[in-house]
Amino acid sequence: MEEAQSPMLKAESDKGCKSCSLCPHRLLAARLGAMKLAIVGVGKMGKSILEGLLRAEMLEASDIGILDTPERTQQVALETGVQPLRLEDLRRCERILLSVQPKDLATLAPQVAHPNTGYISIMAGVSTAVLSRRLGTRRVVRCMPNLAATIGKSSSAITGPREAEEAGDLEFTRALFATVGDVYDLPERLFDAFTGMSASAPAYVAVVAEALADGGVKQGIPRAQALQLAADVLIATGELLRKKHPAVLKDEVSSPGGTTIYGLAALEARAVRAALIEAVEAATLRGHELGREE
């Protein structure tokens, strides 16, 4: 059925059905009207962004469509009330958020490339130049959130060419990612560094937390309690670091001849700073490599 639908069909689709997101009325509405946003890939990140924008009421559920594997599409649509889409429905979407793995882009791009659509990608290492080439448009925005998007505390970097700015895609993306945390405009040449530092940091910090807990367990603290203490101290330190320079905080905790300075000396002996700097560098270089492979 095409857009110039019969009045009866229109009335049916307008009625909608609040009780079931998969009922024919809603499917019909999804296929007939233009949709403001489609999310392709509702895995960890895609689903978190979807939940963030619904929570913030940035868009109505009826204005959002999703596409993943058939099972996952149905499951997430049922959970959230957004529209389950098929590939052919994407041409009616004003903007498409691509939140699949970078390796899936080559196959996916020709299937989702439509004129007059704006694209937002969160795929690590995929440049706006590659997105433009594969999607056949300059209306592309590159965004890099991090796992904290799952709890609404992401730091997300965004960039895009003039065409994306003029079409309102950058503005839309800023608003979209503001629903899951803070948003920063960043020159694209710094994206791999941002990815290596901010987007990868939850993994580095998780290793620190686990190692701290191991230290506690080694000294006799029960595992569950040690893990809880490690999480608590990271959260509290994060809050303090919003107000204080790290060096000031470190100096405040380190009384002369006290326990903390002994612990710090042990960390310095193991070159923990150098290890973290190297981790960011290695992840940044890997980002360059992945970009080149595209």
Ligand X SMILES: NC(=O)c1ccc[n+]([C@@H]2O[C@H](COP(=O)([O-])OP(=O)(O)OC[C@H]3O[C@@H](n4cnc5c(N)ncnc54)[C@H](OP(=O)(O)O)[C@@H]3O)[C@@H](O)[C@H]2O)c1
Interface residues with ligand X (CB under 6 A) are 40-41, 43-46, 67-69, 72, 99-102, 104, 108, 122-124, 144-147, 199
Report the residue number, 40 or 213, with the smaller CB distance to ligand X. Answer: 40
Instruction: Show Cβ contacts of residue 132 under 8 Å, excluding neighbours closer than 6 positions.
Output: 138, 140, 161
Report the residue number, 33 or 181, with the smaller CB distance to ligand X. Answer: 181
From the CB of 244, what's the least distance to ligand X, in Å?
A: 27
Interatomic CA distance for residues 273 and 279, integer angstroms: 10
From the CB of 194, what's the least distance to ligand X, in Å?
A: 10
Report the residue number, 76 or 164, with the smaller CB distance to ligand X. Answer: 76
From the CB of 123, what's the least distance to ligand X, in Å?
A: 4
- Report in angstroms the alpha-carbon separations of 219 from 3, 189, 279: 69, 45, 28
The residue whose two tokens read 């970097």 is: 157
For residue 136, give both structure tokens: 């056949």
From the CB of 148, what's the least distance to ligand X, in Å?
A: 9
Report the residue number, 110 or 258, with the smaller CB distance to ligand X. Answer: 110
Distance, C-alpha 168 to centroid of its chain: 20
From the CB of 243, what's the least distance to ligand X, in Å?
A: 27
From the CB of 120, what's the least distance to ligand X, in Å?
A: 11
**Long-range Cβ contact pairs of 111-117 (< 8 A, separation 24 or more):** 111/87, 112/40, 112/87, 113/137, 114/90, 117/90, 117/91, 117/93
The residue nearest ligand X at its CB is: 43
Report the residue number, 45 or 82, with the smaller CB distance to ligand X. Answer: 45
CA atoms within 13 A on the CB side of 212: 18
Interatomic CA distance for residues 30 and 48, integer angstroms: 22
Report the residue number, 111 or 225, with the smaller CB distance to ligand X. Answer: 111
**β-pair type (93-98, 83-84):** unpaired
Interatomic CA distance for residues 134 and 190, integer angstroms: 22
Report the residue number, 16 or 43, with the smaller CB distance to ligand X. Answer: 43
From the CB of 100, what's the least distance to ligand X, in Å?
A: 4
Q: Quick one: which of 144, 142, 134 has its CA closest to 160? A: 142
